[in-house]
Amino acid sequence: SSGAAAADALSFPADFLWGCATASYQIEGGVKEDGRGETNWDVFSHTPGKTRDGGTGDVACDSYHRYKEDIELLKALGVKAYRFSVAWSRIFPSGRGKPNQKGLDYYNRLIDGLLAAGIEPHMTLFHWDLPTGLEGGWQSRDTAYAFGDYAGYMAGKVTDRVKHIMTVNELRCFTDLSYMTGGKAPGLKLPMAEVNQIRHHGVLAHGLGVQAIRAAARAGTEVGLADNPTIFVPAIETPEHIAATGKAMREENAMFLTAILEGRYLESYLAAQGKDAPKMKAGDMKLIGSPLDFVSLNIYTPNFVRAADTASGYEILPHLANSPRMASPWLYVGPEALYWGVRTVSDLWKPKKIYISENGTSADDPVAQDGKVYDADRVMYLRNYLTHLQRATREGYPIEGYFLWSLMDNFEWEDGYTKLFGIHHVDFKTLKRTPKLSADWYRELIRTNRLV
Residue from 170, 227, 336, 365 touching ligand GBH (CB under 6 A): that is 170
Give the residue with the Cβ less far from ligand GBH, 91 or 404: 404
> Binding segment for ligand GBH among 5-13, 58-66, 168-176, 213-221 (CB under 6 A)?
168-176
Task: Find out whether 17 and 29 touch, Cβ atoms under 8 Å.
Answer: no
Which residue has the closest beta carbon to ligand GBH? 330
Exposure string for 323-343, b = 16+ CB within 10 A, e = fewer: eebbbbeebbbbbbbbbbbbb
Active site residue 358: yes
CB of residue 271 to ligand GBH, shortest distance in Å: 25
**Can you tell me the distance from the alpha carbon of 249 to that of 208, in angstroms, rounded to the nearest whole number?**
25
For residue 406, say if its preceding peptide bond is cis, omega within 30 degrees of 0. yes
CB of residue 421 to ligand GBH, shortest distance in Å: 5
84 has which bridge partners?
A: 123
Residue from 179, 355, 405, 441 touching ligand GBH (CB under 6 A): that is 405
21 has which bridge partners?
A: 83, 405
Task: Say whether residue 228 binds ligand GBH (CB under 6 A).
Answer: yes
Task: Say whether residue 377 binds ligand GBH (CB under 6 A).
Answer: no
Residue from 20, 23, 233, 288 touching ligand GBH (CB under 6 A): that is 23
User: What mask, x for binding ligand GBH by CB under 6 A, covers residues 265 to 284?
Assistant: --------------------
Select which of 28, 38, 120, 170 is catalytic.
Answer: 170
> Restricting to residues 24-43, which ones interact with ligand GBH according to CB under 6 A?
26
Number of residues forming the site for ligand GBH (CB under 6 A):
16
The count of residues in the chain is 452
The answer on whether 413 is annotated among ligand-binding residues is yes
CB of residue 378 to ligand GBH, shortest distance in Å: 13
SS3 helix, strand, coil % of the chain, rounded to 5? 40, 15, 40
Task: Say whether residue 183 binds ligand GBH (CB under 6 A).
Answer: yes
Residue from 169, 175, 359, 449 touching ligand GBH (CB under 6 A): that is 169
**Can you tell me the distance from the alpha carbon of 417 to that of 421, in angstroms, rounded to the nearest whole number?**
10
Q: Where are the alpha helices (DSSP H) in 253-366?
A: 257-262, 267-273, 284-288, 336-349
Task: Say whether residue 173 binds ligand GBH (CB under 6 A).
Answer: yes
CB of residue 181 to ligand GBH, shortest distance in Å: 6
Phi, psi at 343, each rounded to 5°: -65, -45
Count of C-beta atoms within a 10 Å radius of residue 147: 28
Task: Say whether residue 22 binds ligand GBH (CB under 6 A).
Answer: no
**Can you tell me the distance from the alpha carbon of 336 to that of 251, in angstroms, rounded to the nearest whole number?**
20
| Nearest to 119, CA basis, from 75, 76, 67 | 75
What counts of helices (H) and strands (E) characterise the chain? 17, 13
The answer on whether 26 is annotated among ligand-binding residues is yes
**Can you tell me the distance from the alpha carbon of 384 to that of 365, in angstroms, rounded to the nearest whole number?**
18
Phi, psi at 319, each rounded to 5°: -70, 145
CB of residue 205 to ligand GBH, shortest distance in Å: 17
Give the residue with the Cβ less far from ligand GBH, 132 or 406: 406
Task: Find out whether 249 and 345 touch, Cβ atoms under 8 Å.
Answer: yes
Active site residue 38: no
Task: Say whether residue 358 binds ligand GBH (CB under 6 A).
Answer: yes
Write out the catalytic residue numbers.
Answer: 170, 358
Which residues are documented as binding site for substrate?
26, 127, 169, 300, 405, 412-413
Give the interface with ligand GBH as residue ranges (CB under 6 A).
Answer: 23, 26, 169-170, 173, 177, 181, 183, 228, 298, 300, 330, 358, 405, 412, 421
